[in-house]
Amino acid sequence: MRIIPAIDIIEGKCVRLTKGDYETKKIYNENPIEVAKQFQDSGIEYLHLVDLDGAKASKIVNYKVLETIASKTSLKIDFGGGLKSDDDLRIAFNSGAKQVTGGSIAVKNASIFQNWIDTYGSQRIILGADANNEKIAVNGWQEDSGLDLIPFIVNYQKKGIKYVICTDIAKDGMLEGASSDLYKRILTRIPDINLIASGGVSNVNDIHELNAIGCDGAIIGKAIYENKISLRELEQFIINN
């Protein structure tokens, strides 16, 4: 299982939110490249970079941060947050993203998202399946789409999607453990999807549990920044797995 630390960006700074609420913003570092280099120095290969300004603006905003991290580290970056147009996608890839994540766009404008899959291939386009009570949420998690989570993923798998980031919004930033039962149900129904768990990881035991379930990756955010999981522990997990 891949260890994928998260860096969320507001105004060029590394921040974390709780349950996607911008009012809960906490700044952890003024310089995201410092954080990214610490991850790389710990043997981590992947990074989940989220443009929270972009998510609010419905267009890419912090692409310069992406460009800096991509040019100054060897991290393989998946980038998301506000990607709504073909131009947004081109900017993200030109700025160094290896993969991009589309969430709201996959609900609101399925034809554009399908075109991204067809144009760039299923290795580069990730489906963002963010859910509250197993209903897909959109627009920075502020709106319930009414779509059921698992059928939503199944539908896009039929359209070529291979990678899915699934965030249980109720768990995000709470440090109360990941939604293991939910991920088990998804993988039982869709065993050949590359499922990336996101939200709630609070300690290294959660990581081992997600690995045992069969998740392709685990995105870890606040647990790192609040020193619930050390980079040394992540390094050991990578070495041993």
Query: What pLDDT, in 10s, does the model give residues 77-100?
Result: 999 998 999 999 999 999 999 999
pLDDT for res 21: 84
Q: How far apart are CA 133 and CA 58, in angstroms?
A: 24
Single-letter code of the amino acid located at 191: P
The average pLDDT across 42-50 equals 97
The average pLDDT across 196-206 equals 93
Cα-trace Rg, the chain: 16
Q: What is the mean pLDDT of the chain?
A: 93
pLDDT at 120 over 70: yes
pLDDT for res 4: 98
The average pLDDT across 134-155 equals 84
Number of helices and strands in the chain (H, E): 11, 12
Q: How far apart are CA 5 and CA 36, in angstroms?
A: 9
pLDDT for res 50: 95
pLDDT at 172 over 80: no
Q: How far apart are CA 173 and CA 153, in angstroms?
A: 23
Q: How far apart are CA 223 and CA 230, in angstroms?
A: 8
pLDDT at 174 over 70: no
Q: Is 8 a catalytic residue?
A: yes
Query: Tokens 């685990």 label which residue?
Result: 218
pLDDT at 191 over 90: yes
The average pLDDT across 48-75 equals 96
Our count of domains for the chain comes to: 1
- Do 145 and 182 form a contact (C-beta atoms < 8 A)? no
- Do 129 and 155 form a contact (C-beta atoms < 8 A)? no
The average pLDDT across 193-214 equals 95
- Supply 106's token pair: 């996959």
CATH number of the structural domain spanning residue 148: 3.20.20.70
Catalytic choice (53, 130, 206, 216): 130
pLDDT at 17 over 90: no
pLDDT at 139 over 70: no
In the chain, what percentage of residues exceed pLDDT 70? 97
Partnered with residue 137 across adjacent β-strands are 144
User: Whole domain around residue 106: which residue ranges?
Assistant: 2-240
In angstroms, how far is the first alpha carbon of the chain from the final one? 7
The average pLDDT across 227-231 equals 96
Q: How far apart are CA 65 and CA 79, in angstroms?
A: 11
pLDDT for res 173: 64
